[in-house]
């Protein structure tokens, strides 16, 4: 059933970064590398492989540079790294990252709690990263994933006008892609559709990925709404990795396996081989024994006759 | 967040019938009655409470008449029963069922395996049920849920023209509502949208419920597609009950809890109180100890501030 024409959507696998950042156990580097190899073999064309944060804050990411350097061997994969600030960006570019992504919160409350900066101060940080990029690696795209764009557990409602205003500021700053993240899983399809349509109106082709969580099971429905609104890049993580250890399932990313099934069954080509994608669960499980993984497709098995 | 205006969609709870029919353990009658009471208290306005099949074939449904009679005390609830044939319809009407639903397969292979009749022979059975209804209980609506409308594990692809042809035959026979069932969880949003739009074109307001399964996680996305195509009745089961015991998660219905969250968060009123809906899981768990239940909302808890 895998569609053989050119991929129409980009599945951006964020498990090695967003997923791992949410689990307690530290995954051994060798397992991370095997996992990334398996993801690349499955046809994923963009993988967020690491976060460049101080190792003392997040031991899980102490091997970020090594992981980036390894991933670069996969010529069909764009190797992406999350960087929270200028220092992280410098380290990521030095390691050879091919795309940077910065989180900027739409909610001031979340922004202060997360990075101790207002959203406006983060825009200044993004500008500094863009200047650095222009010096160090002019061709490397810089993306912003706008956190809490659909609601914030600290602030509550996030006004849609705030999201759009911030998006315009970031576009004016020169950011290459601006995506919207449902960090807290509060988004619903009507809202996802509305906000992304406004994004396309305001910033056009700079509109980036839909980064959705499956907190209350709405992940794929929200993804469908984003697709219908024109979004063509979707963040997701293998096995929905990223669930909070204290509330299983509460915070996991959209499950890559189910997302690929949805698009391919709709006739929308992802470029991902579902059989090989399922096989990529083995190194993930090996590296994180006992960690709960999600996904209905892995439970049910592939659809009969899927090629 | 529950919308206080008149309900815009009808959530038809099928757990006591479709859910229970798929589990191995027999739920004690007293627990079934407590469960149905809790579902009614949560504001569900239509509940498929039982299946009128021979008790030796399905011991789970031996108490069908008693369950229907009990459920009738809930004046805000339409008490629905599944009947596979004329004999079942007679027993259901005698017990006081307020709506009958008959399964008619779009796939001849599934129809023969399930009821040993062709789809055309089932249309004749439906006609006999309609005549019986006209004699015994003229006001009682008769619905057909068209099984395997989106694909069949036995036959494979089910041509959309076959689905539409059968729908027209059933409409001409005088059926009150004709819904489409994704019995095998093979449906995708593009197909769900296309087929329901054709249903509305061909049989207009006789178009009935979307009966969706969550086999590969697409249940809510398919529900969203059906809603956008104009469907306003959605079958679902509390806790996604109905998973195959040999492949957990493989065949469960759409999870009522998550479906209600999706619609209410979108501003589409369901009339269901989500707090009370969550409370209705207790009698279900008590009556089926050890049975796996699904649903991301129960794992994550209600959204903050949900009223």
The domain spans of chain A are 10-300
- Alpha carbon distance A165, B143 (integer Å): 50
Average pLDDT, chain B: 94
- Residue B248, pLDDT > 50, answer no
CB neighbours (10 Å) of residue A130?
Answer: 18
User: Is B292's Cβ below 8 Å from some Cβ in A?
Assistant: no
pLDDT score for B24: 87
Hey, CA dihedral for B101, B106, B108, B113, is it positive or negative?
negative
Exposure string over B71-85, b if 16+ CB within 10 A, otherwise e: beebeebbbbbbbbb
CB-nearest partner of B265 from A188, A261, A300:
A188
Say if strands A177-181 and A142-147 run parallel, antiparallel, or are unpaired.
parallel
- Most distant pair of Cα atoms in chain B: their distance: 52
pLDDT score for A244: 47
Residue range B205-210: mean pLDDT, rounded: 98
pLDDT score for A196: 98
Q: What is the DSSP letter of A77?
A: S
DSSP H helical ranges for chain B? 20-21, 29-41, 64-71, 86-95, 108-115, 119-136, 160-173, 189-203, 219-229, 256-266, 274-279, 281-287, 296-300
User: Is B156's Cβ below 8 Å from some Cβ in A?
Assistant: yes
User: Three-state DSSP class for B148?
Assistant: coil
Q: What is the SS3 string spanning A185-217?
A: CCCCHHHHHHHHHHHHHHHHHHEEEEECECCCC
Rg (CA), chain B: 18
User: Is A288's Cβ below 8 Å from some Cβ in B?
Assistant: no
pLDDT score for B250: 52
Q: Which two tokens stand for residue B17?
A: 């019938």
Using CA coordinates, name the residue in chain A closest to B226.
A221
User: Is B142's Cβ below 8 Å from some Cβ in A?
Assistant: no
Those residues of chain A that have pLDDT short of 50 are 244-249
Instruction: Name the nearest CA neighbour of B23 among B298, B297, B299, B290.
Output: B290
pLDDT score for A246: 43
Q: Which run of H or of E encompasses B104?
A: strand B99-105
CB-nearest partner of B220 from A218, A247, A266:
A218
Is there a contact between A256 and A297 (Cβ–Cβ < 8 Å)? no
Confidence category of residue B305, pLDDT binned at 50, 70, 90: confident
User: Is B215's Cβ below 8 Å from some Cβ in A?
Assistant: yes
Is there a contact between A178 and A208 (Cβ–Cβ < 8 Å)? yes
- Residue B4, pLDDT > 70, answer no
- Alpha carbon distance B159, B240 (integer Å): 28
Interchain CB distance below 8 Å, B266 and A153: no
Catalytically active residues of B, by annotation: 244
C-alpha to C-alpha distances, B76 to A154, B73, B177, B179, nearest whole angstrom: 38, 9, 20, 22
pLDDT score for A4: 62
The predicted-structure confidence for B103-122, as pLDDT tens digits, reads as follows 999 999 999 988 899 999 99
Strand partners, B81: B50, B100
Is there a contact between A270 and A7 (Cβ–Cβ < 8 Å)? yes
pLDDT score for A247: 42
The predicted-structure confidence for B59-69, as pLDDT tens digits, reads as follows 999 999 999 99
Using CA coordinates, name the residue in chain A closest to B305.
A156
C-alpha to C-alpha distances, A151 to A242, A249, B32, B94, nearest whole angstrom: 18, 18, 38, 51
CB-nearest partner of A221 from B224, B247, B251:
B224
Is there a contact between A266 and B190 (Cβ–Cβ < 8 Å)? yes
User: Is A266's Cβ below 8 Å from some Cβ in B?
Assistant: yes
- Residue B201, pLDDT > 80, answer yes
CATH class of the domain comprising A10-300: alpha beta
Is there a contact between A62 and A45 (Cβ–Cβ < 8 Å)? no
The predicted-structure confidence for B111-158, as pLDDT tens digits, reads as follows 998 889 999 999 999 999 999 999 999 999 999 999 999 999 888 899
Q: Which run of H or of E encompasses A120?
A: helix A119-136
pLDDT score for B130: 98
A-B C-beta contacts closer than 8 Å: 115
Interchain CB distance below 8 Å, A224 and B223: no
Strands (E), chain A: 10-13, 46-51, 78-82, 99-105, 142-147, 177-181, 207-211, 233-236
Is there a contact between A168 and A138 (Cβ–Cβ < 8 Å)? no
> Mind telling me how many Å the CA of B302 is from chain A's nearest CA?
8
């Amino acid at each position: 059933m895998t569609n053989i024409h050119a991929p129409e959507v980009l599945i951006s696998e964020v498990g090695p970064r967003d997923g791992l950042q949410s689990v307690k156990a530290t995954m051994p580097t060798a397992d991370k590398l095997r996992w990334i190899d398996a993801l690349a073999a499955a046809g994923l064309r963009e993988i967020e492989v690491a976060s460049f944060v101080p190792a003392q804050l997040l031991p899980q990411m102490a091997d970020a540079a090594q992981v980036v350097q390894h991933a670069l061997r996969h010529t069909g994969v764009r190797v992406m790294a999350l960087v929270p600030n200028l220092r992280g960006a410098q380290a990521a570019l030095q390691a050879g990252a091919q795309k940077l992504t910065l989180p900027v919160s739409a909610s001031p409350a979340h922004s202060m709690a997360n990075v101790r900066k207002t959203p406006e101060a983060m825009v200044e940080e993004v500008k500094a990263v863009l200047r650095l990029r222009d010096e160090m690696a002019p061709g490397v795209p810089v993306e912003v994933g706008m956190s809490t764009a659909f609601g914030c557990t600290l602030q509550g409602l996030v006004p849609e006008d705030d999201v759009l205003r911030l998006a315009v500021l970031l576009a004016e700053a020169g950011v290459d892609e601006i995506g919207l993240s449902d960090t807290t899983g509060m988004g619903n399809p009507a809202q996802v559709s509305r906000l992304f349509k406004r994004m396309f109106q305001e910033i056009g082709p700079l509109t980036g990925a839909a980064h959705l969580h499956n907190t209350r099971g709405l992940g794929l429905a929200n993804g469908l709404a984003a697709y219908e609104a024109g979004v063509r890049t979707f963040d997701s993580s293998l096995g929905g990795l990223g669930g909070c250890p204290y509330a299983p399932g509460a915070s996991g990313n959209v499950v890559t396996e189910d997302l690929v099934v949805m698009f391919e069954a709709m006739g929308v080509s992802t470029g991902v081989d579902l059989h090989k994608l399922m096989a990529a669960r083995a190194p993930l499980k090996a590296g994180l024994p006992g960690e709960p993984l999600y996904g209905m497709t892995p439970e049910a098995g592939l659809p009969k006759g899927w090629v």
